[in-house]
Amino acid sequence: MSKNWDGWLRDKDWQPVAPDEFKALPADEKLRRIRHSSAHVMATALRKVRPEATFAIGPATEHGFFYDVHVDSPITPDEIAAVQEGMKGVCKERQRFEVAVVPHAEAVEFFAEKGERYKLDILEKLVDQTVTFYRNGDFVDLCAGPHVPDTSFCQNVKLLAASPAHWRGEQNPSLQRVTGTAWDSREALKSYLAFVEEAKARDHRVLGQALDLFSFHPWAAGALWHPRGLTLRNELGRFWRELQPEYGYVEILNPVLYKPDLFQQSGHWEHYHEDMYIVRDASGEPDMALKPMNCPDTMLFYKTRSHSYRDLPLRVAESQILHRNEVTGALHGLMRTRSFVQDDAHIFLTPDQVQEEIRQLLGLVDRFYSLFGLEYSMKLSTRPEKYMGELEQWNAAEEALKASLDASGRGYWIDEGDGAFYGPKIDISIQDSLGRKWQCGTIQLDFQLPQRFELEYTAADGTRQTPIVIHRAIFGSMERFIGVIVEHFAGAFPVWLAPVQAVVLPISDEKQLDYAHEVMASLRKAGIRAELQQYESLNYRIRQAEKQKVPYILVLGEREQEQGTAAVRRHKVKEQRVVPVDEIVAEIAAKVNSRELDVHMAKVQAKFQEPGDTSTTDNPY
């Protein structure tokens, strides 16, 4: 005989969320609870629209919440609108959030009766732990909380999408992830929705194709780079290579395929092989592997000759193509791909050189990001649960990084347990013009790989010692960095980076074409990337140049031809000026050579700022 679950629920000792306690909370914690509670409000309304829905998890996120649910068919936009409307009704009812402690065995029995398989999966990991239920109205959920006092606190919510998701890996059933944003005021919600629209307009996947930079194909493991996009990419690489001699780097190039022995030696096979692409022989055994990072084979380069302490620091750069078997759900345009390039470097040095080297690296980081007008923040990621090496070495490495960060005078925070398995690291996140943060740069201190590869140098006292290695990248993934700056500048790049720096537009193809070729010759002689555009009406060509965000538009008419001038327009600048050709060529060349971040570009990047940083983490079971 089935248990009377309604009576069972009524008999529980339900405790309301105290309004006074909520009022006393810091603003960020209030917002976190609003977002977590909004997931429950959404689920309450969704069950009316989709009675068959079963629920997985519904955490708060950086700007809102999501809830992963199992339904018989994909949720439609009309159903999302119906759920949104239903949420308004739930909020108007001011349903109280109440919590009750439930014995683990009874919780299992309850959700088994309801057919909530995902809640049962969660409960399997909670044996011998306190289990709590939260309810609002008729909706009861397995949840660790905490929540707001009642549903009226969740009025400033907007559902954004329903998209496919997977429960704990792609091999499990497909779910629907209903995503929303939630705020503590109507004004904050309105501001965020404007931010979302601006972000859509800047989406690098859309702009990349509109500006003819790159495209994507489902058969490809990365982007297909078009000539203009490759020009942009090469300019970034040229900037880095120009700095290499100044900072004492040498550059190498190693293969992309290696025997598994290399990664067994480095320790990556044990810790990382599931994320690698492996080539198997006829018997199915691993034969070769595409390298996912440049560290192990740079150790091989170091071993090609003997070293003295006089050779150190030895700074070795490599920008080889890497491959990682990222799960499909994690892929996102250029931001996360399976094939990518890093601006890698590995620095071999003695213990007494570590702090000074990191100080120089932090200066190099600042020089890189300042060039693009990017603000950045740093965190120190410490020893993870699974790690290689001795505890004493880890402690020494973490202290060295901490001392360098302290000496830099820049703020940072500590992320306990987020280091690589071979060493602690400084992770650097850049902030774009919309206030979004992207983890790009990293500085990692490594005692392990030099030992595993038996690297040595002759110390001043004649003894053989093991060097320390610093792994560092500043662009990080070149693909991700380009994706970030496409959105950061909304495709309107500084002159030095722009794939096309100037377009020349003769008013009359018949009368000004010869003069246009002369102007083009002057531009190209100065190394300026210029295009001559003809045939269509002048207004059409100007509009196209504006759409392509070309920094300089040079219009040539009869007067300009007679005077040796050009009517010059700047992208998004209304004023037009008539300038002698040699002067405009010199102006553009100066901006290219100085890699100037134009005041005009600074205005573009300051166009919109995200409302606050409300990064949160939530673990509702």
Complete DSSP assignment for 110-136 = HHHHHT-HHHHHHHHTTTTS-EEEEEE
CA dist list (Å): 200 to 151, 194, 547, 615: 30, 10, 16, 20
**Report for 32-41, 119-128, 267-276, 371-380: range of highest mean pLDDT:** 32-41
Q: What is the pLDDT of residues 331-342, one digit of tens each?
A: 788 988 899 999
Gap between the terminal Cα atoms of the chain: 30
Backbone angles phi, psi at 601, to 5 degrees: -70, -35
Please say if 471 is a catalytic residue: yes
Among candidate residues 491, 502, 379, the one with its CA nearest the CA of residue 430: 379
Please say if 451 is a catalytic residue: no
- C-alpha 346/C-alpha 167 separation (Å) is 38
- C-alpha 154/C-alpha 31 separation (Å) is 10
Out of 32, 63, 323, 324, the active site residue is 324
Among candidate residues 370, 474, 385, the one with its CA nearest the CA of residue 426: 474
pTM of the model: 0.79
CATH code linked to domain 5-195: 3.30.980.10
**Which secondary-structure segment (H or E) carries 289?**
strand 286-290
- C-alpha 501/C-alpha 499 separation (Å) is 6
Out of 155, 342, 444, 605, the active site residue is 342
Out of 47, 233, 471, 541, the active site residue is 471
Mean pLDDT of the chain: 89
CATH architecture of 502-593: 3-Layer(aba) Sandwich (3.40)
Out of 344, 427, 432, 598, the active site residue is 344
- Tokens matching residue 139: 């909706």
* CA-based R_g, the chain, Å: 29
Per-domain boundaries in the chain = 5-195, 229-488, 502-593
The distance between the two most distant Cα atoms of the chain, rounded to a whole number of Å, is: 100
- Tokens matching residue 361: 């690296």
Name the residue type at position 536. E
Contact 522, 585 (CB under 8 A): yes
Q: Choose the weakest-confidence range: 78-82, 206-210, 397-401.
A: 397-401
Out of 91, 143, 154, 295, the active site residue is 295
The alpha carbon of 419 is separated from its chain's Cα centroid by a whole number of angstroms, namely 18
Please say if 154 is a catalytic residue: no
Query: Residue range 457-461: average pLDDT?
Result: 95
Name the residue type at position 314. L
Q: What is the pLDDT of residues 60-82, one digit of tens each?
A: 998 999 999 999 999 999 999 99
At 255 the three-state DSSP class reads: coil
- Provide the percentage of residues in the chain whose pLDDT is more than 90: 65
Residue reference for tokens 């339900």: 14
Q: What pLDDT score does 601 carry? A: 54
Q: What pLDDT score does 615 carry? A: 34
Q: What pLDDT score does 618 carry? A: 33
At 610 the three-state DSSP class reads: coil
Please say if 155 is a catalytic residue: no
Please say if 342 is a catalytic residue: yes
- C-alpha 131/C-alpha 103 separation (Å) is 7
CATH code linked to domain 229-488: 3.30.930.10
Q: Under the phi-then-psi rule, with left for phi > 0, alpha for psi from -120 to 50, and beta for the rest, what region is 248?
A: left
- C-alpha 259/C-alpha 499 separation (Å) is 39
Please say if 517 is a catalytic residue: no
Q: What is the pLDDT of residues 515-529, one digit of tens each?
A: 999 999 999 999 999
Please say if 95 is a catalytic residue: no
Q: What pLDDT score does 603 carry? A: 53
